[in-house]
């Protein structure tokens, strides 16, 4: 899937990504190339070992789990880590809340969604564990006109944009306003 993405070189200077150990940063990049077009990927250590580290015999399942935990716990102002680990149907998945921060999907290829997305309840439960309260300034933050234009380009459906805004810590009222600007009533949505 990464073949249809363009990753910005500025990812290399991201403060949070550079704050984790080199092994966790390596796993982050490897997860990034396996995510679907909503920023979701499997998070089972045995699957990661088999698909992302097939030739690295020196990396154990325990080490992969430790790297996942480090990425999950590297929280920022939104209360989420570099990845969000969640469960669906007794399988573990990871969502990358900053998925669109340093990359763009090619618009000439239809987005591919493979993995289940975390629900709002999943996100709230995870946020409440890592950060008891989202700061008021984050909840009330306005979305710029430039971001609205980018959202129109990047998001083909309201559900994925809503999930993105939820992971950024926006409240329901702000999310509704943004969705109305990006997907005006009567405008046909491409799926």
Nearest-angstrom CA–CA distance, 189 and 185: 10
Angle at 94 between CA 148 and CA 35, to 5 degrees: 65
pTM over 0.85: no
* Beta carbons within 10 angstroms of residue 24's beta carbon: 22
Q: What does the radius of gyration of the chain's CA atoms come to, in whole angstroms?
A: 17
Are 51 and 9 in contact by the 8 Å Cβ rule? The answer is: no
Q: What is the pLDDT of residues 3-29, one digit of tens each?
A: 566 777 888 888 888 899 999 999 999
Which one-letter DSSP state was computed for residue 89? T
Task: Give the start-to-end residue ranges of the domains of the chain.
Answer: 2-133
Please, which pLDDT band fits residue 167 given cuts at 50, 70 and 90? low
pLDDT at 134 over 90: no
Instruction: Tell me the CATH number for domain 2-133.
Output: 1.10.10.10
Nearest-angstrom CA–CA distance, 179 and 152: 10
Average of per-residue pLDDT values in the chain: 77
């Amino acid at each position: 899937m990464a073949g249809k993405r363009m990753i910005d070189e500025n990812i290399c200077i991201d403060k949070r990504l550079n704050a984790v150990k080199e092994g966790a940063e390596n796993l982050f990049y490897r997860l990034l190339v396996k995510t679907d077009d909503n920023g979701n990927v499997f998070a089972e250590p045995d699957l990661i070992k088999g698909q992302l580290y097939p030739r690295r015999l020196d990396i154990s399942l325990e080490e992969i789990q430790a790297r996942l935990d480090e990425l999950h716990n590297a929280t920022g102002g939104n209360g989420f880590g570099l990845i969000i680990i969640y469960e669906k149907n007794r399988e573990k998945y990871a969502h990358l809340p900053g998925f669109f921060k340093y990359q763009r999907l090619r618009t000439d290829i239809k987005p591919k969604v493979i993995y289940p997305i975390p629900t709002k309840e999943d996100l709230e439960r995870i946020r409440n564990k890592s950060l008891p309260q989202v700061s008021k300034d984050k909840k009330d933050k306005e979305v710029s006109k430039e971001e609205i234009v980018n959202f129109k380009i990047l998001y083909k459906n309201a559900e994925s944009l809503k999930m993105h805004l939820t992971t950024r810590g926006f409240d329901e009222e702000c999310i509704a306003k943004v969705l109305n600007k990006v997907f005006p009533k009567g405008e046909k949505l491409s799926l």
